[in-house]
């Protein structure tokens, strides 16, 4: 493979990743949680934190839903026994999930990730 073909291939493969990062700039997401039911609502790709939080609470749809995490990149919520939960925001979905699971495990057992979202996707 020639140098030019390899460079063109590398550039073509990198552009979608760069576009995704740029698309997430200035966007916010949020997750809401109901401690009585364990339901989660999500709002993402919003221009403001408030809009994202309002949408997350609306999507949750239960009277005791509250926004538990607002994020510029990725967020995750883990829920375990008795609707104990943990949440996190981070630059990557994997790191947000890891921290959400660790936070949940500090309150309860059998924690599982029930929602992960990233802006720009």
Model confidence at 121, pLDDT cuts 50, 70, 90, reads confident
Q: Where are the domains of the chain?
A: 24-118
Pairing of strands 28-33, 66-71: antiparallel
**pLDDT tens for residues 58-97?**
999 999 999 999 999 999 999 999 999 999 999 999 999 9
pLDDT for position 25: 81
Are residues 45 and 62 in contact, defined by beta-carbon separation less than 8 angstroms?
no
**The pLDDT of residue 101 is above 90:** yes
pLDDT for position 6: 31
Q: Which residue has the higher pLDDT, 31 or 13?
A: 31
Select from 51, 41, 50 the least CA-distant residue to 75: 41
């Amino acid at each position: 493979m020639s140098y030019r073909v390899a460079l063109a291939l590398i550039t073509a493969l990198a552009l979608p990743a760069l576009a995704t990062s740029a698309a997430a700039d200035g966007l916010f997401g949020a997750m809401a949680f109901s401690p009585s039911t364990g339901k989660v609502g999500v709002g993402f790709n919003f221009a403001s934190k408030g809009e994202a939080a309002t949408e997350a609470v609306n999507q949750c749809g239960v009277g005791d839903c509250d926004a538990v995490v607002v994020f510029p990149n990725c967020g995750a919520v883990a829920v375990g026994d008795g609707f104990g939960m943990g949440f996190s925001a981070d630059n990557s979905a994997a790191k947000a999930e890891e921290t959400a699971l660790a936070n949940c495990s500090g309150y309860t057992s059998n924690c599982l990730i029930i929602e992960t979202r990233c802006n720009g996707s």
